[in-house]
Amino acid sequence: MKKISPTYTYVLIFLAMLFWGLTFVWSSIVFEYYSPITTLMMRLLISTGLMFLGLWIFNMIEKIRKEDYVLFLLSALFNPFLYFIGENYGIKFSSPTISSIVIAAIPVFTPVFAYMALKEKLNIINIVGMLVSFAGILLILIEPDFSLNAQPIGVIALSSALIAAIVYSILLKKLSGKYSAFFIIAVQNLIGLFYFAPLFFIFHWQNFIHTEITFELAASLLQLAVFGSSLAFVFYTIGTREIGVNKTNFFTNLIPVITAIFSYYMVDERFDFQKIIGMIIVILGVILSQLHRQSRFAAFYRFFWRFRK
């Protein structure tokens, strides 16, 4: 496959991080019109259509083995279904920046669960990075008077997303050696549509059909699906092919920063000194956890997880 210039590669990687950072902001805009369930239903519908169109055009559709049916159904239950419910309700009941900070810290906590579930080696760098990031998250969420800087339901939702993401990554590892990443994500998104459908049609259909579609709503929803769930995936894949997984993943630390900047200008989110310090501490913990050579599971997790955005 033909190589591309380093400059072009880094531009594409930055664009992927930009789009993923903006997904938190675009989601918060769509939530002014639709519920998180409706937003996820529409986003997955558009993204799944685009992904299967690409699979068909490039003749990449694979046959699923019978023994993997349950694994696909179970992995899709945790992601996109449970993960995206947690993430999106976290955005709705906290803020885009708080949500992006918590989600960005997921890879830091993954080695602990990998140690318990898969007996992966846990080194001191993993532990220190986890503790530093956790301290930063607490600093962001807790005010000086010890009240929460987010609604409790938002904190619970983000915690649920974190757990769902880690369980999903363990299940995903069992599929990764059998099918292409693009095909796995496309199938899981399709299954996710069926998981979301009952909630959408029973609880949110009336709101959906009676909500006026504005330019702001349509633009934000399309941007979520096209840029956040499709183009960012392609750009990230090119980046990992050209410079490797670990170097590309280092740029994911930009996502909370991008979210914070655009949240300030697009949705008028305000930041005090304590929240800024907390953000810096969380990102420091994430960077610290990557200074040591990653385990095979952690590297795998970082590679595949960004496909979910």
Q: What are the tens digits of pLDDT across the range 49-95?
A: 988 998 999 898 999 999 999 999 999 999 889 999 998 999 988 88
Which residues share a beta bridge with 142?
148
Task: Compute the average pLDDT of residues 186-193.
Answer: 92
287 vs 250: CA distance, rounded Å? 7
Residue with tokens 């995936």: 233
> Residue 5: its pLDDT value, please?
80
121 pLDDT tier (thresholds 50, 70, 90): low
Q: Is 110 among the domain residues?
A: yes
Q: Is 144 among the domain residues?
A: yes
Q: Are 24 and 259 in contact (CB under 8 A)?
A: yes
Length of the chain: 309
108 pLDDT tier (thresholds 50, 70, 90): low
Q: Is 1 among the domain residues?
A: no
How far apart are the two ends of the chain, measured CA to CA in Å? 26
- Give the number of domains in the chain: 1
90 vs 113: CA distance, rounded Å? 22
Give the single-character DSSP code of 58: T
pLDDT at 281 over 80: yes
> Residue 126: its pLDDT value, please?
66
Q: Is 269 among the domain residues?
A: yes
Radius of gyration of the chain (CA): 19
105 vs 116: CA distance, rounded Å? 19
pLDDT at 180 over 90: no
117 pLDDT tier (thresholds 50, 70, 90): low
Q: Is 213 among the domain residues?
A: yes
104 pLDDT tier (thresholds 50, 70, 90): confident
Q: Is 10 among the domain residues?
A: yes
* Residue numbers of the domain that contains 42: 6-308
Q: Measuring CA to CA, which residue among 60, 88, 64, 90 is closest to residue 75?
A: 64
Task: Compute the average pLDDT of residues 286-302.
Answer: 58
Q: What six digits make up the tokens of 91?
A: 């955005």
289 vs 126: CA distance, rounded Å? 5
Q: Are 255 and 21 in contact (CB under 8 A)?
A: yes
Q: Are 114 and 171 in contact (CB under 8 A)?
A: no
Task: Compute the average pLDDT of residues 212-223.
Answer: 93
* pTM (predicted TM-score): 0.78
Residue with tokens 């633009």: 219
Q: Are 175 and 68 in contact (CB under 8 A)?
A: yes
Q: Is 246 among the domain residues?
A: yes
Q: Are 70 and 122 in contact (CB under 8 A)?
A: no
